[in-house]
C-alpha cells in the first residue's frame, strides 16, 4: 500500500515536471512601462520595443549552476537595429555573465547569434553564429548548461559552444557568484546590424519577441545564501531540497563524443566570428584558453 502511494507520487511529480514553469512565479518584468507582458495564464511572455522604450524581465531566483531552457521566437520582418539579449549574470564590478544575444537584420537577411562569457568582470570572449533555421518563424529552444566543469550553449539541443573550466591552468571560471536570468529587447542601431550601418526602421514598430516553456534544473540560492538543488525548480514539482548531490545528471554532464562532433559540425558550418581566431586579437596575444 505504502509502496503504491510512493509510485503514484513519483508519477505525479514526473508529470508536473513536464509542465513549463509559470512566468508569473519565476520572473518579474522589470522595465518597459507595460511593453513587457505575461500572458496566457503565465505560459507566455512577450517583450516590446518602440521608439520610446524597449523592455525586459529578470528571474526572481538566483542560480548557482543549472540547466536552463527557454523557447524564444524573435522579432520578425525588418528587425535591423534590434537586439534581444538573453543571459545569466551576477552583480558587481567583477561579475560573471553567460550571454546569448540575437542581433536583428533587414528582412530576408540572417540574424546573428552572439555569445560571450564573462568571468570576474572580464569578457571579450565573443563567438558568433548563424542559425540553421529562421528564428522568427517559430519558437526554438536556447539552453545554458552551467555546471562546475562546463558552460555549454545549446540551440535546440545542439551544442554550439563549450567553455571549459580551466582553473587548473589559471583561467577564472564562474563558480561562486549566483546569477539571475535576464532578457531584454532594445534598440542598438548604433552597432548591431551590419556594424551600425543599418538603422532601426520605426515604421515597423512596435517590435516584439516571445518566450515560453521556461525550465530550470538548477541550484537556487536561498535567502540563507545556501544553494538548494533539485530537478525542475520552478515547475509545479516539489522544489529541490538537497545540496549538489541532489542536483541531477546535468550537474556532472559533459559532451560525449557524438555531441562533441555535432558541436564541431556547427562550429565549422555556422560560426562566423571567434575571438580565438580574430587576427586583431591574436596580434594582442591570444587569450590563454584559446591555445588549450
Ligand X SMILES: *[C@@H]1O[C@H](CO)[C@@H](O)[C@H](O)[C@H]1NC(C)=O
Which residues bind to ligand X, rule: CB under 6 A?
103, 105, 109-110, 112, 192-194
HSE (side-chain half, CA atoms, 13 Å) at 81: 19
Shortest Å, Cβ 266 to ligand X? 17
Residue nearest to ligand X (CB): 109
By beta-carbon proximity to ligand X, the closer residue of 58 and 78 is: 78
By beta-carbon proximity to ligand X, the closer residue of 80 and 229 is: 80
Q: Which residues are catalytic?
A: 97, 101
By beta-carbon proximity to ligand X, the closer residue of 131 and 152 is: 131
By beta-carbon proximity to ligand X, the closer residue of 112 and 187 is: 112
Cell numbers for 271: 560560426
Shortest Å, Cβ 226 to ligand X? 42
Shortest Å, Cβ 22 to ligand X? 33
For residue 113, which of 274, 289, 262 has the smallest C-alpha distance?
274
By beta-carbon proximity to ligand X, the closer residue of 15 and 277 is: 277
Contacts of residue 154, defined as CB under 8 A and 6 or more positions apart, other chains included, come to 141, 142, 143, 144, 145, 160
Starting at the edge strand found earlier in the chain, the sheet holding 180-187 runs 27-31, 55-59, 180-187, 82-89, 97-103, 112-118, 127-129, 271-274
Unique residue bearing C-alpha cell 532578457 = 183
Shortest Å, Cβ 56 to ligand X? 20
Shortest Å, Cβ 210 to ligand X? 20
Which residues are registered as beta bridge partners of 185? 55, 84
By beta-carbon proximity to ligand X, the closer residue of 272 and 282 is: 272
Amino acid at each position: 500500500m505504502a509502496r503504491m502511494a510512493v509510485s503514484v507520487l513519483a508519477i505525479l511529480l514526473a508529470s508536473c515536471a513536464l509542465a513549463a514553469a509559470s512566468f508569473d512565479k519565476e520572473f518579474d518584468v522589470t522595465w518597459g512601462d507595460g511593453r513587457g507582458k505575461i500572458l496566457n495564464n503565465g505560459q507566455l511572455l512577450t517583450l516590446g520595443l518602440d521608439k520610446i522604450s524597449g523592455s525586459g524581465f529578470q528571474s526572481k531566483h538566483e542560480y548557482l549552476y543549472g540547466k536552463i531552457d527557454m523557447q524564444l521566437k524573435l522579432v520578425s520582418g525588418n528587425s535591423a537595429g534590434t537586439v534581444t539579449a538573453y543571459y545569466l549574470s551576477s552583480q558587481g564590478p567583477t561579475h560573471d555573465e553567460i550571454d546569448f544575444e540575437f542581433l536583428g537584420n533587414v528582412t530576408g537577411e540572417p540574424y546573428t547569434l552572439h555569445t560571450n562569457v564573462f568571468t570576474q568582470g572580464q569578457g571579450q570572449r565573443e563567438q558568433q553564429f548563424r542559425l540553421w533555421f529562421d528564428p522568427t518563424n517559430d519558437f526554438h529552444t536556447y539552453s545554458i548548461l552551467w555546471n562546475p566543469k562546463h558552460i555549454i550553449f545549446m540551440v535546440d539541443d545542439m551544442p554550439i559552444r563549450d567553455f571549459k573550466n580551466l582553473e587548473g591552468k589559471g583561467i577564472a571560471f564562474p563558480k561562486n557568484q549566483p546569477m539571475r536570468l535576464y532578457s531584454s529587447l532594445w534598440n542598438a542601431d548604433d552597432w548591431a546590424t551590419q556594424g551600425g550601418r543599418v538603422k532601426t526602421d520605426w515604421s515597423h514598430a512596435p517590435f516584439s519577441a516571445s518566450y515560453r516553456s521556461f525550465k530550470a534544473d538548477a541550484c537556487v540560492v536561498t535567502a540563507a545564501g545556501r544553494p538548494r538543488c533539485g530537478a525542475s525548480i520552478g515547475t509545479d514539482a516539489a522544489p529541490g531540497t538537497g545540496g549538489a548531490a541532489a542536483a541531477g545528471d546535468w550537474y556532472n554532464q559533459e559532451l560525449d563524443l557524438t555531441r562533441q562532433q555535432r558541436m564541431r559540425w556547427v562550429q565549422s558550418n555556422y560560426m562566423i566570428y571567434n575571438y580565438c581566431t580574430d587576427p586583431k586579437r591574436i596580434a594582442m596575444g591570444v587569450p590563454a584558453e584559446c591555445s588549450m
